[in-house]
Amino acid sequence: MKKMNINKIKAFKSKEKISMITAYDALMAKLFDDLVDIILVGDSLNMSFGGDDDTLGISLEEMIYHTKAVCKGVKSALVVCDMPFGSYIDKDIALKNATKIYQQTKADAIKLEGGLEKADIIKELCKNSIAVMGHIGLKPQFVRAEGGYKVKGKSEEEIKKLIKDAKALEEAGVFCIVLEGVKAEATKTITQSVSVPVIGIGSGKDCDGQVLVWSDMLGFFDEFKPKFVKRYLDGAKLVRDSVKEYVKEVKEGKFPSEEYWY
């Protein structure tokens, strides 16, 4: 399978839906690689694997470590690395940190959260040959500042702001935009307002693609399930049942049997 690139992703707009999934290590990346268009090393890693209750605590070095691992498992999908909280507070810092990601990993692009207010930072990255994916709507890195996770696009005013943000990102040079946690009725207008693909999560069906966190969609993270997550597998149950069986066999002296020894 040929390697995906940002031009092919852009060309999917209004033609073919884009599939994106997160991965945080080589093992899962290898499983997903030839099935999906984009693998996102999301900072959701800090919650689903780091055990934290938001995404804010992960460092640039940790994101780089996981992105390197993902890239080792990938041959065809486009790999996008999330810039962690605090790593793009101005143009210079963003450029220094995005350059570090490009130099130390084989990521094809970076993703950062924010709209119009981040346009200058995105322009600077694009000017310096870094491919950028935007992220607007519900922005998990804003959870503490906004006092919780808030669904967006609930009023005409909010929809107008999202369209303004999407257009500012397109103008700044992003190749694609993630639209998270937006009322389904607002998604079509926002998606149609730009010529770059819009990939939704919890924003209904009227975008150019969808993204889900792998441990949510495969049911490995089962403490709570947001409304937008469809579970395609009951991973946690399968794992627990198998480990239970292993422990039982160990306790009963049934494992290992002859076929498992030298």
- Positions touching ligand KIV (CB under 6 A) are 22, 40, 42-44, 82, 178, 180, 201, 211, 213
Nearest residue to ligand KIV, scored by beta-carbon proximity: 42
Question: In a 3-state reduction of DSSP, which class is residue 59?
Answer: coil
Nearest to 132 by CA among 83, 93, 72: 83
Confirm whether 185 is a catalytic residue. Answer: no
By C-beta, is 40 or 121 nearer to ligand KIV? 40
Exactly one of 61, 180, 249, 252 is catalytic; name it: 180
Kindly state the smallest distance separating residue 212's Cβ from ligand KIV, in Å. 8
Kindly state the smallest distance separating residue 42's Cβ from ligand KIV, in Å. 2
In sequence order, the 6+-apart residues with CB closer than 8 A to the CB of 2 are 76
Kindly state the smallest distance separating residue 243's Cβ from ligand KIV, in Å. 26
Task: Identify whether the C-beta of residue 71 lies closer than 8 Å to the C-beta of residue 102.
Answer: no
By C-beta, is 148 or 253 nearer to ligand KIV? 148
Task: Identify whether the C-beta of residue 233 lies closer than 8 Å to the C-beta of residue 219.
Answer: yes
- Tell me the H-state helices in 128-260: 143-146, 156-172, 184-192, 214-217, 235-251
Kindly state the smallest distance separating residue 117's Cβ from ligand KIV, in Å. 18
The two three-digit tokens of residue 189, written as one number: 């207008």
The two three-digit tokens of residue 46, written as one number: 């800090």
By C-beta, is 73 or 134 nearer to ligand KIV? 134
By C-beta, is 22 or 87 nearer to ligand KIV? 22
124: Cα separation from own chain's centroid? 22
Report the catalytic residues: 180
